[in-house]
Amino acid sequence: MEKWDTVAIVGVGLIGGSIGLALRERGLARQVVGIGRRTASLRVARQIGAVSRTTLDLGRGVARAELVIVCTPVGQIAADVRAAANACRIGALLTDVGSTKAEIVAALEGELPRQTRFVGSHPLAGGEKSGPAAATADLLVGRTVIVTPSAATHDDGIADVAALWSSLGANVVRMPPVEHDRILAGTSHLPHLTASALAAATPEHDLPLVASGWLDTTRVAAGDPELWRQIFATNRAHLLTALGRYEQVLATLRRALERGDEAKLVEVLAEAKRRRDAIANSM
Amino acid sequence: MEKWDTVAIVGVGLIGGSIGLALRERGLARQVVGIGRRTASLRVARQIGAVSRTTLDLGRGVARAELVIVCTPVGQIAADVRAAANACRIGALLTDVGSTKAEIVAALEGELPRQTRFVGSHPLAGGEKSGPAAATADLLVGRTVIVTPSAATHDDGIADVAALWSSLGANVVRMPPVEHDRILAGTSHLPHLTASALAAATPEHDLPLVASGWLDTTRVAAGDPELWRQIFATNRAHLLTALGRYEQVLATLRRALERGDEAKLVEVLAEAKRRRDAIANSM
Among residues B158, B175, B192, which one ends one of the domains? Answer: B175
Q: How far is residue A123's CA from residue A79's CA, in Å, rounded to a whole number?
A: 20
Same domain, yes or no, for A81 and A119?
Answer: yes
Shortest distance between the Cα of A148 and any Cα of chain B, in A, equals 14
Run of H or E including A25 = helix A14-25
Residue B260: closest CA among chain A residues belongs to which residue?
A: A233
Task: Verify that B107 and B134 share a domain, yes or no.
Answer: yes
pLDDT of A22-52, one tens digit each?
999 999 999 999 999 999 999 999 999 999 9
Model confidence band, residue A283 (pLDDT cutoffs 50, 70, 90): low
Indicate the residue of A188, A229, A248 with minimum beta-carbon distance to B269. A229
Task: Judge if A186 and A235 occupy the same domain.
Answer: yes
Residues A158 and A136 in one domain: yes
Same domain, A231 and A156: no
In this prediction, residue B211 carries a pLDDT of 83
Total CB pairs under 8 A between chain A and B: 289
**One domain for residues B10 and B55:** yes
| Number of separate domains in chain B | 2
How far is the C-alpha of B256 from the C-alpha of B268, rounded, in Å? 10
Distance CA B84, CA B88 (A): 6
Q: CA nearest B273: which of A171, A206, A1, A226?
A: A226
Report how far residue A210's alpha carbon sits from residue A216's, in angstroms, rounded to the nearest whole number: 10
Asked if B186 and A196 come within 8 Å (Cβ–Cβ), the reply is no
Q: How far is CA B282 from CA A195, A207, A208, A209, in A?
A: 19, 10, 9, 12
Task: Indicate the DSSP class of residue A191.
Answer: H
User: Tell me, what CATH number does A91's domain have?
Assistant: 3.40.50.720
| Substitution target from A15, A245, A253, A276 for chain B, most B beta carbons within 10 A | A276
Mutate to test the interface with B, among A273, A277, A282 (most CBs of B within 10 A): A273
Q: Are residues B32 and B168 in the same domain?
A: yes
- pLDDT score recorded for residue B47: 96
**Do B35 and B88 have their domain in common?**
yes
Task: Kindly list the residues from chain B whose CB atom is less than 8 angstroms away from the CB atom of residue A283.
Answer: 215
- Name the more confident of B169 and A283: B169
Min mean pLDDT across A142-146, A181-185, B1-5, B125-129 is at: B125-129
The CB-side HSE value for A13 (13 A sphere, CA atoms) comes to 18
Q: What are phi and psi of B145, to 5 degrees?
A: -115, 125
Beta bridge partners of A93: A67, A117
Entry pTM: 0.93
State the Cα–Cα distance between residues B155 and A172, nearest whole angstrom. 63
Is the model's pLDDT at A281 over the cut of 80? no
Given a contact cutoff of 8 angstroms between Cβ atoms, the answer to whether B158 and B120 are in contact is: no
Question: Which ipTM was obtained for this model?
Answer: 0.92
pLDDT digit string, tens, across residues A45-98: 999 999 999 999 999 999 999 999 999 999 999 999 999 999 999 999 999 999
Tell me: do B152 and B189 sit in the same domain: no
**Long-range contacts from B101-105, C-beta under 8 angstroms, 24+ separation:** B101/B146, B101/B148, B101/B177, B101/B180, B101/B181, B102/B177, B102/B178, B102/B180, B102/B181, B102/B234, B102/B235, B103/B78, B103/B234, B104/B74, B104/B77, B104/B78, B104/B177, B104/B234, B105/B148, B105/B150, B105/B177
Interface contact B211-A188, CB threshold 8 A: yes
**In the listed set B175, B206, B221, which residue is the last one of a domain according to the structure?**
B175
Q: State the pLDDT at residue A232.
A: 97
Q: Using an 8 Å CB-CB cutoff, list chain A residues near B216.
A: 191, 195, 216-217, 219-220
Give the count of alpha carbons within 13 A of A57, CB side only.
Answer: 5
pLDDT at A191 over 90: yes
CA A62 to chain B, closest CA, distance in angstroms equals 31
Which of A191, A206, A225 lies nearest to residue B217, judging by beta carbons? A191
Same structural domain for residues A170 and A223?
no
Give residue B280's pLDDT: 73
Range of the domain at A123: 4-175
Q: Are residues B113 and B191 in the same domain?
A: no
Residues 6+ apart with CB under 8 A from A115: A90, A91
CB-CB under 8 Å, A204 with B275: yes
pLDDT (tens digit, 0 to 9) for every residue of chain B, 283 residues total? 558 999 999 999 999 999 999 999 999 999 999 999 999 999 999 999 999 999 999 999 999 999 999 999 999 999 999 999 999 999 999 999 999 999 999 999 877 888 999 999 999 987 667 888 889 999 999 999 999 999 888 888 999 999 999 999 999 999 999 999 999 999 999 999 999 999 999 999 999 999 889 999 999 999 999 999 999 999 999 999 999 999 999 999 999 999 999 999 999 999 999 999 998 765 5
Contacts of A196 in chain B (CB under 8 A): 253, 268-269, 272-273
Pair (A170, A196) in one structural domain: no
**First CA to last CA distance, chain B:** 27
The reply to whether residue B253 touches residue A126, judged by beta carbons under 8 angstroms, is no
Query: For position A187, which CATH number holds?
Result: 1.10.3660.10
Of A175, A194, A229, at which residue does a domain stop?
A175
8 A C-beta contact, residue B15 and residue B125: yes
> Chain A residue with minimal CA distance to B280?
A215
- For A282, the closest chain B residue by CA position comes to B208
